Amino acid sequence: MQMIYNSPNYCVVEFPALDGTMALLDGGYEIVDKTNQREIFIDGALAAQFREHVQKLIDEQPSIEEIDEFLGQFDSLMHQPVILH
């Protein structure tokens, strides 16, 4: 796993594909909303779309605010609370 984005509002961790197993065949992403202490894990088709959108966004050299705005699209899907151990 690798942290690919970290701002005061969001953190995104990329999980690589795992060869030889059905789990995470294409990899996945964990998106954490630090402000509301919620997160979501996406994989499969949604992760592939996320990867494509992120690549387009990177090509435009966005500001932190623009990246956070993009990640804010996932807020309504974040139902899992962040729990620290």
Give 44-83 pLDDT, tens digit per residue.
888 889 999 999 998 999 999 999 999 999 999 898 888 7
Q: How far apart are the first and last CA of the chain?
A: 19
Q: Cα separation of 14 and 73, whole Å? A: 18
Model confidence pLDDT, tens digit, residues 15-44: 987 765 555 566 899 999 999 999 999 988
Q: Cα separation of 85 and 82, whole Å? A: 10
Select from 57, 78, 77, 59 the least CA-distant residue to 67: 57
pLDDT of the residue at 24: 57
66: its two tokens: 């623009």
Dihedral in degrees, nearest 10, Cα atoms 33, 37, 41, 42: -30
Mean pLDDT of 9-17: 91
pTM score, whole prediction:
0.83
